[in-house]
Structure 1
C-alpha cells in the first residue's frame, strides 16, 4: 500500500510539473536531492556505527541483561504477559535504550527481534498480542534523552548550537510516550471490560 502511495505522489508531481512547465525545476530538485541524501547518509554513518558498536559491546559484556534486570519492575508493568528472563525482555530493553539515544535505525532490528519473540509467546498467531501492541506504541512514541541522529544532522548543516534541542526533545518525547501508554491501556481495559459485558 505504501508503494502505491509513493507512486501516486511521484506521478502527481511529475504530471503537475509538466502541466505548469516546471519540469526543469523538478529535474534539478531530483538530482540535487539525491546528492544531498548521499552526503547526509555518509555523515550519519560514523554516528550510527559508533552507537551500534557500543550496543554490541554492551550486549556481549552482559550489560543489557543487567539493565533488563534493573528495568524489570518497569518493564513487567508495561509487559505483564512476558515471563521473567524471556529473551524478548532483552530485545525490548535494547530497543528502548537505542530509542533513548535517538538511534531509530539501530532500534529497529531490536524491535523486530522482540516482535519475533513475542509472536512465539503468542503461539505464532497472526493477531497481535497485548505485549506486541504495547511494544509498538512505546517504540513509536519512544522517549528520547539524547537525539543523537538529529544532533548529527544539525552539526552537518553547521548549526550554531546543535544540542539546544535536547531539553525540548526530552519533554516532547516524554509527553508522547506517556500519551501512547495511556491510550494503549485505555483501549486494552476497554476491550477487557467489553469482553466481561461491562460495556
Structure 2
C-alpha cells in the first residue's frame, strides 16, 4: 500500500512540475536529496555502530544478563503469564534497553527474536490445550500484543537517531530534544501499558 502512495505522490509531483514548468527544479532537488541521503547514511552508520558496539560489549560483559535480573519485576508485571526464565526474556530486555537508548535499529533484531520465541510459546500452549496435531494459526498471544504495543510506544532516555538527524541538518543544539523526547515517550509508554492492562482484564 505504501508503495502505491509513494508512487502516486511522485507521479503527481512530476505531472504538476511539467505543467508549471519546474522540471529543472525537480531534477536539482533529486540530485541534492541523493547527496544528502548518502551523507545522512554515513552519519547514522557511525552513530549506530558506536552504540551497537557498546550494546555488544554490555552483552559480553554480562551487563545485559544483570539487567535482565533487575528488570525481572517489570517483565513479570508486563507479562504475568510468561513462564519464568523463558527464552524470550533476554530478547525482550535487550529490546527494551536498546529502545530506551533510542537505538530503534539495534532494537529490531532482538524484537524479532522475542516475537519468534513468544510465537513458539503460544504454539506450545495450543498444543497442550488441544488433542492431536495442531497447526500454527499465526494468532498473536497477549504477550505478543503487549510487547508490540510497548515496543512501538518506546520509552526513550536518549533519542540517538533524532539527535543524529538534527546534527546532520545543522541544529545549533541537537540534544535539546532530549527533555521533550523523555516526556513524550513517557506519556506514550504509560498509555500503552494502561491500554494493555485494560484489554487483558477485559479478555479475562
Q: Match for residue 167 of structure 1?
A: 179
Q: Match for residue 160 of structure 2?
A: 148
Q: CA deviation at 1:172?
A: 0.7
Matches within 5 A, 1:62-141: 62-123=62-123, 124-141=136-153
Q: Match for residue 126 of structure 2?
A: none
Matches within 5 A, 1:22-41: 22-41=22-41
Q: Match for residue 3 of structure 2?
A: 3
Q: CA deviation at 1:22?
A: 2.5
Could you state the TM-score of these two structures normalised by the residue count of structure 1? 0.89
Task: State how many pairs are aligned.
Answer: 192
5+ residue gaps, structure 2: 124-135
Q: Match for residue 186 of structure 1?
A: 198
Cα 1:25–1:190 shift into 2, 3 Å? farther
Q: CA deviation at 1:46?
A: 1.4
Q: CA deviation at 1:63?
A: 1.7
Cα 1:19–1:184 shift into 2, 3 Å? farther
Q: For the residues of structure 2 that align with 1:39 and 1:103, how far apart are their CA atoms?
A: 19
1:60-85 deviations in Å (ceiling 9; x for gaps): 22221210111010111111222111
Q: Match for residue 16 of structure 2?
A: 16
Please, which moves more after superposition, 40-49 or 60-69? 60-69
Contact 1:101 1:144 in 2 (8 A): yes
Could you state the TM-score of these two structures normalised by the residue count of structure 2? 0.87
Q: Match for residue 46 of structure 1?
A: 46
SS at match of 2:174: coil
**Structure 1: 4+ residue segments shifted above 6 A:** none
Cα 1:28–1:87 shift into 2, 3 Å? same
Q: Match for residue 127 of structure 2?
A: none
